Structure 1
Amino acid sequence: MIVRPVHNILLLPDVSYYFKKDFFNDWCTEPMKKDDDVLFMLLKDDKAGNELTAGDFYPIGISARVEGIDDSENVQIRTLERVDISDIEVADNHITATASIRGEISDISDEEEAELFSKLRGALLKFVQGYQWGVWARSYILQRKNLHDLACSLTDYLNLSTEEKYKILAADSRKERDGLIENAIYEFIEMSKVSQEASSAQKDDQEQLYREAAIKKQIEYLQRELDDMHPENVSDVRKFEKKIARSGMNKEAKQEAEKVLNRMKQEGKESHEYGLLYDYLDFVTSLSWKTPKMPSIDLKEAEAILDEDHYGLKKVKERIIQQLAVMALNKKQSGSILLFVGAPGTGKTSIGQSIAKALGRKYVRISLGGVRDEAEIRGHRRTYVGAMPGRIMEGMKRSGASNPVMVLDEVDKLARDYSGDPASALLEVLDPEQNNSFTDHYMNVPYDLSNVLFVCTANTTDTIPEPLLNRMEVISFPGYTSLEKFQIAKRHLLPKALETMGIKEENLEVTDSALHKMIEEYTGEAGVRSLKKLIDILCRNAAVKLVKKEQETLTVTKENLPEYLGHQRMRHETRLEEKEPGVVTGLAWTTAGGEILFIESKLMEGKGNLLITGQLGDVMKESVQIALTLVKSLFPKETEILEKRDLHIHVPAGAVPKDGPSAGITLVTALASLVTGKAVGTEYAMTGEVSLRGGVMPIGGLPEKLMAAQRAGIQKVFIPYDNIEDLEDVAEEVKEKLEIIPVKKVTDVLDQVLKD
C-alpha cells in the first residue's frame, strides 16, 4: 500500500482524482501500477517529508485505489472509504500506520441527496451564465456525477480552510456532510457575486444569510488589509485581536477574552454594552500574563541598597536578606509572606520600595485601610452596574508585570460589615498554595499571583484575624532611638527637604545641636514622620527669609530654633524629682512608641472602699485587684489599715484610655510602698504582668518601653525574666544607659526598691 500525506485537499469517498505520477515518487517503494492501494493521510500543516512527526496528521484519512496510468504519466485514483488512522510511525520519508474503515450515519436518503445535488448543480449553472467563461464552466459542472464529485471538483475555488475541509471529511453523518458542502458552495456563489458587485438582491432568506456571511468575511479581509497599511487607525476589534494573540494568556483567559470579543463584534459601537465589553478587554489585555525568567540576585548589592535607603533596622534587613537568599537558591519566588509591624513613620512602607529596587522589580502599593467590602479585594461581577476589578488585580495592571513587589498597606485596619469580610478574601491572595489560580470576580478567569512578592504592613497585630496572621511572618519594626533619628534626619530628611524647597546647601546650615533639640523637645513618636514635617516647616520658614533677602546664609542653632519652629511642642513625662510613698514609675507601649507613666495611690478617711481613676480598661482594673490581693498577702499587718481607710489609685493622664496587664508589677510596688510608708526611688521604672502566685510574667513592646525609660532619664528598669531574649532587639545605646534587671518574683522587686 502507498501511504501519501496530503495538505489542503478536499478528499471525499467515491470520487475520481487525477495526479501526476511524480506526485507519488518519494512515497513509493516499488513502481506504481493499476489496482495499487493508496492511503491518503491529511496533514494539519504543510511540512516537508523529513520534518513530519506522528502529531502532524489528522486522525481520519481516506483509502483509494489506482484505476489507471496513461502514457502521459497521469494517474487516475478512485477514493473508497473514510478510515480511522492509528499507530503512526514516520522514519526517513516512510510512513507506516494502521487504518480501519470508519462507519457512516446514513441519515439522508439517496433520493434526497440526489435532489440536493441537482439543486446545487442548478444553482451553479445559473451562476456561471453571466460570465464569459460560463460555457466552459457549464460543461465542467455537467460532468460531475454526484455531490461529493461536485464539491471536490470545486475545491480550488471554495473559500475553505484546511480545518474546514477536514471537518467535511470527518463528519460521520451524511446529512451533516451534505449540509457543510451546501454551505460552502452557496458561500462561494455569494462571495463571487459580492466580488463582482452583483446588484441583484437575494429574495430567499437562506441565500441572504449566505450573502451576509460572505460580506462579513470580505469586510474582515479588507479591514485587515487597511490595518496593515495604517496601523495608527486600527479598529478596536482588530486591536484586541492582536493584543489577545500576543498576550500569553492561559487557556481559560483566552477563551473568555475571545468570547467577549465576538460579542463586541456582534453588538457594534452603537450598543450600550460596547463600552463595558471594551473596558473588560482593555483590562485583561493590559495585564502581564507571561512569567519572566528569575534573574540572579546579588545579595551584596541588595544589602547596599537597603543600607543606603534606610538607617538602622538591622534585624529587619537581616530577615529581608534571608528571604532574598532563599529566592536566589530556588531560582523562583519562595519564602514567607512578610508582615512588618510597627509604629507609624518607622519605614515599613518605604522599605518595600527598597526591596523592589534590590530585586529589579516593579513596585506597587495598595492601601487597605478602611476597606470593608469583599469586592474591593476580589472585584465585582460584571453583571453589576459600574463593576470594577478588585484592588489586587488593579495593582497588577498598574505594575505592568506579573512579578512585582506588592505592598499591602495597613492590613490591620480592614473593616467588616454586611458586604463581606475583606480579610477572608485576602486568605486566597496570600496563601502560596492557592494564589497560583486567583480568580477576580470581574475577570472571571484564574490569574497566577505566585510570582508576586507580597509585603504587608500594620501598626498592630491585635486586629488582624488569626487565619490571616498565620499566613504571614511577623517582623517587628521597633521605634528609632534618638541617635538613629539624628542620623536619619541628617542623611535623608534634611537633604530631601532642601531639594524640595529649592534651597541650596550653602544657604542653610542646621547644626547637630538643633537637630537633637528638634528630636528631643519637638517630637515624641517612635518613627520619624513628625520629624520630617518639622524639618519641612523649618525649611519653609528659612525659604521666606532667603527670598526676602534678610540674610545671604542662614544657620539654625539650638538657641535660635524657636524662631523657625515656635516654642517646645512636646512635653514628655520625665522622671520625678522627688520620691514619695505610693508613687511608682511604670512603662507603657502605644502605637506611637513607648511612654513612661506613674501609678499614684493615696489613703484617705473612709470605710475600706477602692476608687480607681485614669480611664483604666477592664484588664488593667483586674490587675489592680490582683495587686491588692498580693499586697495584702505579703504585708498582712500593714494592710489592716485598708479596712478603715479608702484607697484611691490614679494613673495620669486622665484623658488617655489605658489598658493591658503589663502594669501589674508597678501596681504591686506602688501599693506596697503606700502601706509600708517606704518611698520608691525615682531612678526606678518597671514593667511586667503579675500572677496571684507572685510571679512576674512576660510582656510585649519591650524595645519601645526601654527607649521611653532612657529618654525620661530612668536609670534602672525591672523587666520579666522571660523577656531576656527580647533584649536582642533593643538598641545598644539604650542598653548602655540603663541598668536592666530581670526578675522572676514580685518579691525580687520589692526587696530592692523598699530597702531602708
Structure 2
Amino acid sequence: MITIPIYDMTILPDVTFFFKKDIFTEQEITAEHVGEDVLFLMLKQDKKREDITPDDICPMGVSGRIESMDEEGNIRVHTKERVAISDVEVTLQSISADGAICGEVEDLSDEEMQKRFEALKRDLLKFVQMFQWGVWARSFILHWKNMNEILCALSGYLNLSWPEKYAVLEAETRRQRCELIEKAIYEFIELFKVSEEAQSAQKETHEQAYRESAIKKQIDFLQNQLDEMHPENISDVRRFENKLKESGMNEEARKEAEKVLNRMRQEGKDSHEYGLLYDYLDFVTSLSWKTEELPQIDLQEAENILDEEHYGLKKVKDRIIQQIAVMALNKKQSGSILLFVGAPGTGKTSIGQSIAKALHREYVRISLGGIRDEAEIRGHRRTYVGAMPGRIMEGMKRSGANNPVMVLDEVDKLAKDYGGDPASALLEVLDPEQNNSFTDHYMNVPYDLSNVFFVCTANSTDTIPEPLLNRMEVIQFPGYTPIEKLHIARKHLLPKAMKSMGIKAQNLKVTDEAITKMISDYTAEAGVRGLKKQMDILCRFAAVKLVKGEQKSITVSEKRVPEFLGRNAMHHEGILQEAVPGVVTGLAWTRAGGEILFVETTLIRGTGKVKITGQLGDVMKESAEIALTLVKAMYPEETKKLDKMDLHIHVPAGAVPKDGPSAGITLVTALSSLVTEKAVSPEYAMTGEVSLRGGVMPIGGLPEKLMAAQRAGVKKVFIPYENKEDLEDVAEEVKEKLEIIPVKKAAEVLERVFGEKK
C-alpha cells in the first residue's frame, strides 16, 4: 500500500481525484502501480517531509486505489473508505501505517441522501445561471454523483479552514456529514451573492452619483436662469432650498430640514402632506439660527431709558442695571433669570420692554396664564393632527432673532392636568445648563436658547413649584405711593390716553388735585392699571364735550372729577373720630395694596363663650385664641369677669374673607383695651404676629401697609422689630409722615398706648 501524506486538502470517500505524479513523494509511480491501493494520511499542520513525526498524523485517513495513469504521468485515484489510522512509523525513506476501515452510521437512508444531494445540486445550478460562466459550470455540476464530490470539487473556492475540512471526513454519521457539506456550500453561495451584489451596487452607486451630479449642475444652471428672469415664479422647493443655504442652521437641524424638503419634493403639491411639510419648513427657516452682534452696552443709556419709562422702582431698576453691567463685563448675551413679583399694574411686564430697548434687542411677550398642557411649551409631535410648535419657539419666530428679551407673563398661573405639567417643561427652558439645546417636539431638533434674556412675571410665588422658583431670582415690585402714582399719571398715563383719543394738550388740562382725587377715591390698587382706566374714561368724556363744541379747552379740577367719572367708586377706611375701648386700628395687605382694618371687641352677659366673626380664616382665628390667652396672663384680675360674660370679636367688613397672623398684636391690644376699659388713640395703628410668650414676630407686606396707614391719617405705627430692614423699601414721603415704632414685645405696645408698664 502506498501512503500519501496530505495537508489542507479535502479528501472524502467515493470521489475520483486526478493528481500529478509529484504528489507521491514516498516512491515513484509508474504504469505498473495501476490497481494498487493507496492510503491518504492527513497532516495536522504543514511540514516538510523530513520534519514529519507520528504525532503529526490525524487519526482518520482515506483509502483509495490507483485507477489509471496517462502519458504525462497524471494519476487517477478513486477513494474508497474512511480509515482509522494506527501504528504510524516514520523514517527518512518512508511512512507506514496500519488502517482499519471505519463505516459510518447510516441514520439517513440512501433515498434521503439522494434527495438532499439532488436538492443541493439544483440550488447550485440555479446559482451559476446568474453568471456568464454558468454554462461551463452547469456541465461540470451535472457530472457530480454524490455530495462528497460537490465538496471536494468546490473545496478550493470555499472559505473553509483545514479543521473544518477535516471535520467533514471525521463525521461519524451520514446526517452530520450532510449538514456540514450543506452548510459549507450554502454559505459559499450566499457569500458569493453578497460579494457580487456589493460590487454591483458600488459600481451602480458611483455611476448614479456621477449622473446625479451632472444632472443637478444642469438643473441648477437652468433654474438660476429662470429665477433671474421670473423671480415671482420661484417654486416652494426652490425657495426653501435658498432659505436653508442662508439659514446658518446647526448640522442636526439642517439634516432634518433637508429630509423634509426631499419628501416635499417627492410628494408634490397634490399630496395631502404637502401643506404639513410646507408649514414645517416655513417655520424652521423663519427662525434665526445665527447669533447677531449687538451694539456695545451703554450703561448710562440703559439707566436713562429705565428712568424715562418707569417712575420709582429704584431697587428694581438698580438690580436690572447690575445685571446689564455683568453682561457687559462677561460679554454674555444673557444672565440670571429674573422673576418680577408684584400686584397687577405695577409695571412688571412693561419694564421688560424697557430692558429690550436698553439692550437694543427684540422684545417678545408670552402669556402663560391658564396653560395646562405641556405641549403648549414643548410643542406637539408632528405625527398629531394639527401639530404646532410650542409657545417658546413660536415667540422666537416672532422675534426674528435668537437673543431677544422674552417676557414669560403670569408664570404663577400655570396649571397641570392629564396633559402634563407645563411648569416642569419650563425647567429646561429656564435652566442655563440645558437650554443651549432645547428641543421642541414639533421641530424635533435642538435649538439654542442660551442667548435669550428671560424675564418672568407673577403676582405671587405661592403657586410656583419650588424647582422652577429655584432657577429664578425673585425681585419684588412694591405698590406705588400716591405721590408716585401722581407722577406716573402726569408723565405717562394722561399723555398716552390723550394721544390715543386725539386730544391735544391745549384742549385738556387736569390739575394735580384732580389726579390725586382720582387716585384716592376712584382706585384701590397697588399698581396703576385702574388709574389708567379712569384716565381713559375722563378723556372720553372730554372728547364728547370737545366734539360737541361745548368747550374748546377743558380744565378738570378736583371739584369737576365727579362730573367726568361719576361718584366715588372706592371707599377707604379712615381713622376713628373718637377712641372707643376695645377697638384698635390694624393694617392688612391685599393684592390691591394695603388697607387699614379695625378689630372690634365687646362683652355681653353670658357664660364665658368666645364668638369670632368677620369671615376670618383659620390662622387668624388661632391668632385670636393666642391673643386671648396672652391677655388673660397679663391681666389676671381684669379678665376674671370673662368667666361670666361672652366675648365677641369682629373684624369688618363681614363680606370680605381675611386671614393671616399679622393681626396678632392688634387683637392683643384690642382685648387689653376692652378688659381694662382704656381706649386706644385712633392715631395708633399696628401690625405684627404675636407668640404665646408675648413676642412680636415679623410680617410681610410692610411697604403697602404703611402706605395704607399714611393714606388713612394714622400718625404712629407699631411694627415688629425684625421688620426694621424692610423700611428701606418704604417710600420716603410715607416715612416722613409716620412715626414708625419697632417693638419686640407686646408689652411695649401696651405700655405706649396705655401709658403703663406691663
TM-score band, normalised by shorter chain: 0.7 to 0.9
The Cα of 1:539 is off from its aligned counterpart by 1.0
Could you tell me which residue of structure 1 aligns to residue 414 of structure 2?
414
The Cα of 1:185 is off from its aligned counterpart by 5.6
Q: Which amino acid aligns with 2:234?
A: V
Could you tell me which residue of structure 2 aligns to residue 727 of structure 1?
727
Alignment partners' CA distance in 2, 1:387 and 1:362? 27
CA contact (8 A) 1:439 1:446 kept: yes
Alignment partners' CA distance in 2, 1:113 and 1:307? 88
Alignment partners' CA distance in 1, 2:435 and 2:201? 47
Whether 1:343 and 2:343 are equivalent positions in the alignment is yes
The Cα of 1:333 is off from its aligned counterpart by 2.7
Could you tell me which residue of structure 2 aligns to residue 481 of structure 1?
481
1:495-510 matches, within 5 Å, as 495-510=495-510
Structure 1 residue matching 2:639: 3-state secondary structure: helix
Could you tell me which residue of structure 2 aligns to residue 369 of structure 1?
369
The Cα of 1:700 is off from its aligned counterpart by 0.8
Alignment partners' CA distance in 2, 1:292 and 1:183? 42
Question: What TM-score do the two structures reach when normalised by structure 2?
Answer: 0.73
The Cα of 1:217 is off from its aligned counterpart by 8.9
Q: Which amino acid aligns with 1:517?
A: K
The Cα of 1:110 is off from its aligned counterpart by 12
Structure 2 residue matching 1:725: 3-state secondary structure: helix
Could you tell me which residue of structure 2 aligns to residue 259 of structure 1?
259
Alignment partners' CA distance in 2, 1:380 and 1:404? 23
CA contact (8 A) 2:343 2:591 kept: yes
CA contact (8 A) 2:702 2:726 kept: yes
Could you tell me which residue of structure 1 aligns to residue 603 of structure 2?
603
Could you tell me which residue of structure 1 aligns to residue 173 of structure 2?
none
Question: Which of 179, 195, 215 lines up with 2:201 in the alignment?
Answer: 179
Alignment partners' CA distance in 2, 1:522 and 1:696? 35
Alignment partners' CA distance in 2, 1:680 and 1:112? 114
Cα distance, 1:177–1:674 mapped onto 2, change above 3 Å = same
Q: Which amino acid aligns with 2:279?
A: D
Whether 1:686 and 2:689 are equivalent positions in the alignment is no
The Cα of 1:755 is off from its aligned counterpart by 2.5
Could you tell me which residue of structure 1 aligns to residue 324 of structure 2?
324
Deviations 1:412-435 (A, max 9, x none): 111122211111111111111111
Cα distance, 1:186–1:249 mapped onto 2, change above 3 Å = closer
Alignment partners' CA distance in 1, 2:200 and 2:568? 95
Alignment partners' CA distance in 1, 2:435 and 2:653? 48
CA contact (8 A) 1:342 1:479 kept: yes
CA contact (8 A) 2:334 2:452 kept: no
The Cα of 1:223 is off from its aligned counterpart by 4.3
The Cα of 1:623 is off from its aligned counterpart by 1.0
Alignment partners' CA distance in 2, 1:250 and 1:368? 29
CA contact (8 A) 1:584 1:670 kept: yes
The Cα of 1:186 is off from its aligned counterpart by 8.2
Q: Structure 2: which 5+ residue stretches go unaligned? A: 1-126, 135-193
Could you tell me which residue of structure 2 aligns to residue 472 of structure 1?
472
Cα distance, 1:501–1:239 mapped onto 2, change above 3 Å = same
Whether 1:240 and 2:262 are equivalent positions in the alignment is no
Cα distance, 1:647–1:695 mapped onto 2, change above 3 Å = same
Question: What TM-score do the two structures reach when normalised by structure 1?
Answer: 0.73
Q: Which amino acid aligns with 1:665?
A: I
Q: Which amino acid aligns with 1:176?
A: A
- Aligned residue pairs total 571
Structure 1 residue matching 2:357: 3-state secondary structure: helix
Deviations 1:212-270 (A, max 9, x none): x9999976765454334423211111111111121111121111111111121222211
Alignment partners' CA distance in 2, 1:364 and 1:609? 59
Cα distance, 1:466–1:115 mapped onto 2, change above 3 Å = same
Could you tell me which residue of structure 2 aligns to residue 400 of structure 1?
400
The Cα of 1:295 is off from its aligned counterpart by 3.2
CA contact (8 A) 1:373 1:416 kept: yes
Q: Which amino acid aligns with 1:505?
A: A
Could you tell me which residue of structure 2 aligns to residue 303 of structure 1?
303
CA contact (8 A) 1:287 1:396 kept: yes
Alignment partners' CA distance in 1, 2:354 and 2:301? 11
The Cα of 1:283 is off from its aligned counterpart by 0.7
Alignment partners' CA distance in 2, 1:271 and 1:327? 50
The Cα of 1:174 is off from its aligned counterpart by 6.7
Cα distance, 1:174–1:592 mapped onto 2, change above 3 Å = same
Whether 1:391 and 2:385 are equivalent positions in the alignment is no
Alignment partners' CA distance in 2, 1:467 and 1:371? 18
Deviations 1:9-42 (A, max 9, x none): xxxxxxxxxxxxxxxxxxxxxxxxxxxxxxxxxx
Alignment partners' CA distance in 2, 1:749 and 1:566? 42
Q: Which amino acid aligns with 1:690?
A: V
Alignment partners' CA distance in 1, 2:209 and 2:490? 79
1:630-641 matches, within 5 Å, as 630-641=630-641
Q: Structure 1: which 5+ residue stretches go unaligned? A: 1-108, 117-171, 192-209
Q: Which amino acid aligns with 2:626?
A: I
Structure 1 residue matching 2:604: 3-state secondary structure: strand
Alignment partners' CA distance in 1, 2:205 and 2:485? 81
Alignment partners' CA distance in 1, 2:663 and 2:201? 89
Alignment partners' CA distance in 1, 2:647 and 2:395? 58
Could you tell me which residue of structure 2 aligns to residue 48 of structure 1?
none
CA contact (8 A) 2:294 2:360 kept: no
Structure 1 residue matching 2:329: 3-state secondary structure: helix
Could you tell me which residue of structure 1 aligns to residue 708 of structure 2?
708
Whether 1:591 and 2:591 are equivalent positions in the alignment is yes
Q: Which amino acid aligns with 2:724?
A: I
Deviations 1:518-547 (A, max 9, x none): 112222211111111111111111111111
Identity over aligned residues, as a percent? 76
CA contact (8 A) 1:294 1:332 kept: no
Cα distance, 1:715–1:266 mapped onto 2, change above 3 Å = same
Alignment partners' CA distance in 1, 2:734 and 2:435? 43
The Cα of 1:182 is off from its aligned counterpart by 4.3
Cα distance, 1:547–1:294 mapped onto 2, change above 3 Å = closer
Cα distance, 1:697–1:258 mapped onto 2, change above 3 Å = same
The Cα of 1:279 is off from its aligned counterpart by 0.8
Structure 2 residue matching 1:659: 3-state secondary structure: coil
Alignment partners' CA distance in 1, 2:407 and 2:568? 36
Structure 2 residue matching 1:638: 3-state secondary structure: coil
Deviations 1:46-96 (A, max 9, x none): xxxxxxxxxxxxxxxxxxxxxxxxxxxxxxxxxxxxxxxxxxxxxxxxxxx
Cα distance, 1:735–1:182 mapped onto 2, change above 3 Å = closer
CA RMSD of aligned residues (A): 2.3
CA contact (8 A) 1:460 1:591 kept: no
Cα distance, 1:178–1:297 mapped onto 2, change above 3 Å = same
Alignment partners' CA distance in 1, 2:737 and 2:612? 34
Structure 1 residue matching 2:598: 3-state secondary structure: strand
Alignment partners' CA distance in 1, 2:579 and 2:133? 118
CA contact (8 A) 2:335 2:453 kept: no
The Cα of 1:187 is off from its aligned counterpart by 9.2
Q: Which amino acid aligns with 1:181?
A: K
Q: Which amino acid aligns with 2:734?
A: V
Deviations 1:374-393 (A, max 9, x none): 11111111111111111111
The Cα of 1:569 is off from its aligned counterpart by 1.6
Could you tell me which residue of structure 1 aligns to residue 51 of structure 2?
none
Structure 1 residue matching 2:244: 3-state secondary structure: helix
Whether 1:752 and 2:752 are equivalent positions in the alignment is yes
CA contact (8 A) 1:294 1:331 kept: no
Alignment partners' CA distance in 2, 1:436 and 1:300? 30
The Cα of 1:395 is off from its aligned counterpart by 0.5
Compare CA radii of gyration and give the structure with the larger one.
2
1:509-528 matches, within 5 Å, as 509-528=509-528
Q: Which amino acid aligns with 1:301?
A: E
Could you tell me which residue of structure 2 aligns to residue 144 of structure 1?
none
Alignment partners' CA distance in 2, 1:754 and 1:473? 44
Structure 2 residue matching 1:541: 3-state secondary structure: helix
CA contact (8 A) 1:227 1:235 kept: no
Q: Which amino acid aligns with 2:265?
A: K
1:447-458 matches, within 5 Å, as 447-458=447-458
Could you tell me which residue of structure 2 aligns to residue 276 of structure 1?
276
Q: Which amino acid aligns with 2:235?
A: S
